Amino acid sequence: MSSFREDLLRGQVALVTGGGSGIGAGIAAALAGHGARVAICGRTQAKLDAVAEGIVAAGGECLALAADVRRPEALAAVTAAIEARWGQLDVLVNGAAGNFLAPAAALSANGFGTVVDIDLKGTFNACKAALPLLERRGGVVINISATLHYAGTPLQAHAASAKAGIDALTRTLAVEWGPLQIRVNAIAPGPIAGTEGMERLAPGAIRERMTAQIPLRRFGTIAEIAEAVLFMVSPASAYMTGAVVVVDGGQWLTGTNFVGLFG
């Protein structure tokens, strides 16, 4: 059940990168469920098609376009397809991300760079590709960040560095694109259940101990991140730009960052 009106986004068009699974797929469905026409992109067409089918079955419109955010020309093709189909773009959600657990000492330059390429440079690439459409009518960019870099998170040198860059990019673009009436904000999710990220980063046995360290004593849900997105694309946040909104059940405030749990 959403807290927002079903027609909140009627007449709007959104693009969600990383929309083929996890948080990105949940955000795409929520945007469509509130009246937006939604394009999703990711690397695997079959995953995108499955998400699009669900959106269409629920009465929405969805364009599923395979594109790797590391390739600016692939993103240019995505925005061209959106323009051809709907003639506008109002919302960009940068959800594409890649991650794994690895100590910095065992991380190759390519391993570090791959995550920076997907998360940080991919976010920049998508923002650049979307700008010509967003600046026509004004719009909203939401970058999916993290809390990894608020303290030192072991085994996450690559992802924490990339997400820190995303926060910096969010603030800079908010300043540069504010006069174009493009708001640029970020959401920093904590541990969210049912995501590939959590499967990779929190294997079964660790999960119970992680839960005990979250002030709200549970993992978040994809729907709760989607609700935050809806708030941040709605007129309720019309004067908000350059903000990084943490949605983590208070987890990072405990200062634990799950240090020690990884053994």
Closest separation between CB of residue 96 and ligand COA, Å? 9
- 91 beta partners: 14, 140
Closest separation between CB of residue 196 and ligand COA, Å? 4
Indicate the DSSP class of residue 116: I
Of 46, 11, 45, 26, nearest to 197 by C-alpha is 26
Closest separation between CB of residue 24 and ligand COA, Å? 10
Phi, psi of 208, deg, nearest 5: -65, -40
> Of the two residues 135 and 196, which places its CB atom closer to ligand COA in the complex?
196
Residue nearest to ligand COA (CB): 98
> Of the two residues 98 and 220, which places its CB atom closer to ligand COA in the complex?
98
Closest separation between CB of residue 107 and ligand COA, Å? 6
> Of the two residues 13 and 142, which places its CB atom closer to ligand COA in the complex?
142
Residues engaged in binding ligand COA (CB under 6 A): 97-100, 102, 107-108, 110-111, 114-115, 118, 196-197, 200
Closest separation between CB of residue 135 and ligand COA, Å? 29
> Of the two residues 114 and 145, which places its CB atom closer to ligand COA in the complex?
114
Phi, psi of 154, deg, nearest 5: -65, 150
Q: In what order do the strands lie in the sheet with 62-66?
A: 62-66, 37-42, 13-17, 91-94, 139-144, 182-189, 244-247
> Of the two residues 196 and 224, which places its CB atom closer to ligand COA in the complex?
196
Report CA-CA distances (Å) from 20 to 112, 150, 241, 246, 256. Answer: 23, 28, 27, 23, 31
Count the Cβ atoms, other than its own, within 10 Å of residue 217: 10
